[in-house]
Chain A
Amino acid sequence: MEFRLSAEQELFKRMVREFCEKNIEPRSREMDDKEEGIPDELIQGLADLGVFGIMIPEKYGGSAPEGEEMTYANIAIQELGRAEMSMALPVYTLLCLGWGFLITKYGTEQLKEEVLPRVAAGEYFVGIATTEPGGGSDIANIQTSGVHKDGKFTVNGEKVYISGVLESIKQREGGHITLIRTDPDAGHRGFTFIFIPAKLPGVSYSTFEDIGRMALSTGGLVYKDVEVPEYYLLGEVNRGFYLNMEGFNLARILVSSACVGMTEKALEISRDYVKQRVLFGRPLAKFEGISFEIADDHAKLEQIKLYLQYTAWAADTLYKEPDFITQRELSRMVSICKMTAPKLGAEITQRCMTHLGAFSYTKDCPLGRGLRGILSYVVGAEGGYHIQKLIIAREFIGDEAVPYR
């Protein structure tokens, strides 16, 4: 049993932290205020460090630490969460990492050669498009259709609450791994996963006005007779549901990483503040009402951080030893992370704000950005809070606890 990070992992963590503290943190407020996306030079700097290539083999321009990809990704995304507390940049990055990994694992050779080197170089965004106006949590109800004929899929339908819409169309280039129904009568066995570049003819978009993570766009994508070449297929036709679940496992781990990183920073801000802020003649830290709250929160955060590291390791191990555990067993672990990290993080950040008082309610203090950002992962984004409970209940209690069977 080995709990510590290797020398290489520690070094990578320090390199990412140095880059983030020097380049990203000083611009985090500006990014949130301007709402114009993530500056290119920050993405470029992270790509130069190899962050966008963590899940991509050297052959396709990446620098994957083979067999330790998720462990490294967890490290990097936590650091990004610390530096950019609204979590626009961490989420942009983790989507590229998590869903990029799925392309690495299941993409056709042509798709991998076309997309992966550009993802590793930070030029190309990869996101996920599952949710529709009719539902996201209830995936079996997905309506967007794809007709597979003459070497292409013709796609019609609509996706909503999709991250990275402007990034993949206007600001940079990119596309989304998209869940489409290819067999209307086969239930969850009738879904296919294909990559759809956002600039393909027939794709149109709209954007939503979010309340947080303002440097990352969210919007809707409409597909009208979009012709997607066959080589954009991931895995096999009608096996998309399973790949989607596998991808969620990866992305949910990394969403938890972003939340843990942000929350860790929030607690440090609070810790530093209560040591120097004097009230009634002594530092705030001398009041147990404050110090015990911080101690409790630190303890809870340390627990989920360790469990998250364990889950990232389990995901890595599963790819090395396919009979280590099942994807469903991994889902249980991942959902424990995704259920806990955003909600706990939101609660802790809110408590930190009460320690800093009125200053925390100004834009000069990053805690407000953190709270607005992390709420996105409580309410949804890679599966909402209650869906995680449903998965945990399904795996721990059994099918008796499943409402859809």
Chain B
Amino acid sequence: MNIIVCMKQVIDLEQIRIKPNTREPVIEGLPLLFGDFEKCALEEAIRIKEVHGGKVTALAVGSPKLRDTIKEALAMGADEAIILIDPIFQDSDAMGSARVLARTIEKVGEYDLILLGDSSADEYSGEIPPRIAELLNLPQVGFVREIEVVADNDQMSEPKKIRVARDMEDSLEVIEVDLPAVIGVTSELNTPRLAPLSAILKASRKPMHEWRSDDIGVTAEEVGARASVVEMLSNLAPIQDRKGIIYQDVEEGVIEVIKALQQEGVLTQ
């Protein structure tokens, strides 16, 4: 089974500081890493490949720093990587990004499954999986936390279906999907592996292709800032409101505080 995993490099969220007086996030100079969602997608692709064979291709759009970042995907177990670096891709909205990814996937041509994070850790729009599916005219399921390959009766042929569990918060919806399909995954899907040293050292020997806009036939009119129809008005940390509840009665206060701490999971019964 040939699986394409779309991955996005995002700033290391753990290192973001918030300016206390303006609530603006300080993101300049932070390292770029793959987010947890895309690593879960890649992990699942590798696990499927380990059972059913085939090839895993990691695909990412981003800044030149991607030449380094992509090595993690290769070290984790992707067989091959395609990175797209071009100034005209910068400041794309979700439609622009989906267009770059869809054109690249079309150019790759051979695929049975496209896996990606349901949302990215930084912008969290959740738009990319359905938009790619629409552009490629493929079935799509989002919020997926379990994937099972449905084996054909004829064991020799390639699997043609997968069964996925979609997280509906209060329930799980199980869906069978014909391949090829686009699947957006959540971080409950698995725990991504850490790449061992031996794989890290071999990562740069795996094939890595670097493509620009010409290679996939997109123009500055279709992607990037010029094509973007979304404008960000504000990006601030939420105001942290203290509740400021005062209990006059000590007994009642203690009981309420314990209840609140239990609700927050700080205290267990």
Contact = CB atoms under 8 A, between A and B. Distances in A.
A250 to B, nearest CB: 18
Nearest to A15: B194
Contacts of B67: 7
Nearest to B197: A50
Given A8-B203, A11-B75, A51 B197 contact: yes
B38 to A, nearest CB: 15
B200 interface: yes
B198 A63 contact: yes
A49 B201 contact: no
Interface string A34-56: 00000000000000111101100
A58 B197 contact: no
Contacts of B33: 14
Contact of A63 (B68, B194, B201): B201
Interface in B63-97: 67-68, 71-72, 75
B162 interface: no
Nearest to A66: B201
Contacts of B203: 8, 11
A11 B195 contact: yes
Q: How large is the interface on A (under 10, 10 to 19, 20 to 34, 35 or more residues)?
A: 10 to 19
Nearest to A72: B197
A384 interface: no
B194 A18 contact: yes
B32 to A, nearest CB: 11
Contacts of A10: 68
A48 B68 CA distance: 23
A383 B238 CA distance: 54
Interface string B198-233: 101101100000000000000000000000000000
A385 interface: no
A53 to B, nearest CB: 7
A65 interface: yes
A63 B196 contact: yes
A19 interface: yes
Nearest to B192: A18
A18 B200 CA distance: 15
A12 interface: yes
B198 A15 contact: no
B188 to A, nearest CB: 17
A8 B198 contact: no
A44 to B, nearest CB: 12
**A contacts with B: majority SS:** helix
Given A7-B68, A7-B71, A8-B71, A15 B201 contact: no
B240 to A, nearest CB: 14
Nearest to A18: B194
B168 to A, nearest CB: 29
B68 A12 contact: no
Contacts of A8: 71, 200-201, 203-204
B69 to A, nearest CB: 8
Contacts of A18: 194
Nearest to A47: B196
Contacts of A14: 33
Interface string A10-26: 11101100110000000
B194 A19 contact: yes
Given A8-B201, A63-B201, A65-B201, A49 B196 contact: yes
B197 A49 contact: yes
A50 B75 contact: no
A8 B68 CA distance: 8
Nearest to B72: A11
A58 B197 CA distance: 11
A133 B68 CA distance: 52
B194 A54 contact: no
A11 B71 contact: yes
Interface in A59-104: 63, 65, 72
A246 to B, nearest CB: 24
Contacts of B194: 15, 18-19, 49
Contacts of B197: 12, 15, 49-51, 53-54, 63, 65, 72
Contact of B198 (A7, A11, A58): A58
A51 B195 CA distance: 12
Contacts of A12: 197, 200
A53 B194 CA distance: 16
Contacts of B71: 7-8, 11
Contacts of B204: 8
Contacts of B196: 15, 48-50, 63
Given A11-B72, A58-B198, A65-B201, 8 more contacts: A7-B68, A8-B71, A8-B200, A8-B201, A12-B197, A15-B200, A48-B196, A49-B196
23 contacts: A8-B201, A8-B203, A10-B68, A11-B200, A11-B203, A12-B197, A12-B200, A14-B33, A15-B195, A18-B194, A19-B194, A48-B196, A49-B194, A49-B196, A50-B196, A50-B198, A53-B197, A53-B198, A54-B197, A58-B198, A63-B196, A63-B198, A72-B197
Interface of B: 33, 67-68, 71-72, 75, 194-198, 200-201, 203-204
Interface of A: 7-8, 10-12, 14-15, 18-19, 48-51, 53-54, 58, 63, 65, 72
Q: Which 8 A-B pairs have the closest CB atoms?
A: A50-B197, A63-B198, A7-B68, A50-B196, A63-B197, A15-B194, A8-B200, A49-B196
